[in-house]
Amino acid sequence: LTKICHIAAQERCLIPGEELFACGQKASHMYFLVGGVMEYHDSGGECQPQEVEQGSRICEIVLWATWEHQGRLTGKIQAELVAIDSCKFRNIARRRSVTWHQCADYGAEYVRRFSVVCEEEHVLPDIWETGPVQLEEMVHAAFPPVALVDDNLTGVLPRLGQRWGIRAGTIGASSQH
pTM here is: 0.74
DSSP H helices in 39-155: 86-93, 97-121, 132-142
Residue 19 contacts residue 74 (beta carbons within 8 Å): yes
Q: What are 76-112's pLDDT values in tens digits?
A: 999 999 999 999 999 999 998 988 999 999 999 989 8
pLDDT score at 140: 79
